[in-house]
Amino acid sequence: MKQYHELMQHVLNNGIKKDDRTGTGTLSTFGYQMRYDLQQGFPLVTTKYVDYEKVLGELLWMLSGSSNANVCAEEYGFKTWMLWAGENGELGPVYGKQWRKWPQVKKHYEPNGVFSHASTDYIDQMKDVIQQIKTNPDSRRLIVSAWNVGEVDQMALPPCHMMFQFYVANGRLSCQLYQRSADLFLGVPYNIASYATLVHMIAQVTGLEVGEFVHTLGDAHIYLNHVDQVKEQLQRELKQLPELFVSSEVEDIDDFDFDDFKIVGYDPHPAIKAKVSV
């Protein structure tokens, strides 16, 4: 995870103090990219403990298509989304809703060309991209987007990791994520592990090996109340990356469960606590 440490040091050295939506304040830089070769180990941060069960729970929740924080907490064990939830846990049409049920309005016309009515169909982006990877792996359109312009204002928190693209070469599947906003200390370790897991999952159901996870960041920031924690973490020695094993029995993206994943060799330094900015 040298790449991640280098990014945090870069922001400490070069970040500009900026105000932000939460009122906390940040050290911020714009535009940065990290690359992780998933053949060389699973990119789970070792200089502090990261709870992989929570990483996996949030990802499985998103893949389920749910946009309810209560479901995320009670069924998948990830409670952080409760911080932004409205009444009854609703978050609006966030990640899972866009991944699995992107609305598509269709206009219907009479035979004479006069408009009759409109109806709404839904696009399952995950199913579609998996089918494209299987049938047209050289496509440059292997893209899933969570940034639905027409629904952003209905979301409790617009997507930070907003679009990702797959790439197939030499029998390996790679993925590049564009993340518009990146909380480096708390959020990014989860984002890296989550999308690395997603690459393993999609590779499994498409019969490919894993390739690279490429992480492209827009506003990469350290909250001002995390600076001391970041400095503490940067003083710690990097350890060997663990390995992720995914069940070879799963053939459909909707059939994955917690028991299909196993992290081996994870020996991190102790956790470092910090406050989430809401």
Mark whether 160 is an active-site residue. yes
Q: Look at residues 137, 141, 144 and name the one whose alpha carbon lies nearest to residue 164.
A: 144
Structure tokens at 42: 């699973």
Q: Please pick, among 44, 160, 241, 274, the residue that the annotation labels catalytic.
A: 160
CB 183 within 8 A of CB 221: yes
Would you list the DSSP string of the chain? -HHHHHHHHHHHHHPEEE--TTSS-EEEEEEEEEEEEGGG------SS---HHHHHHHHHHHHHT--BHHHHHHHH---GGGGT--GGGB--S-HHHHHH-EEEEEEEE-TTS-EEEEEEEEE-HHHHHHHHHHH-TT-S--EEE---TTTGGG-SS--SEEEEEEEEETTEEEEEEEEEEEETTTHHHHHHHHHHHHHHHHHHHHT-EEEEEEEEEEEEEEEGGGHHHHHHHHTSPP----EEEE-TT--SGGG--GGGEEEES--PPPP---PPP-
CA-to-CA distance for 3 and 7, rounded, in angstroms? 6
Structure tokens at 239: 């350890």
Catalytic positions, written as ranges:
160
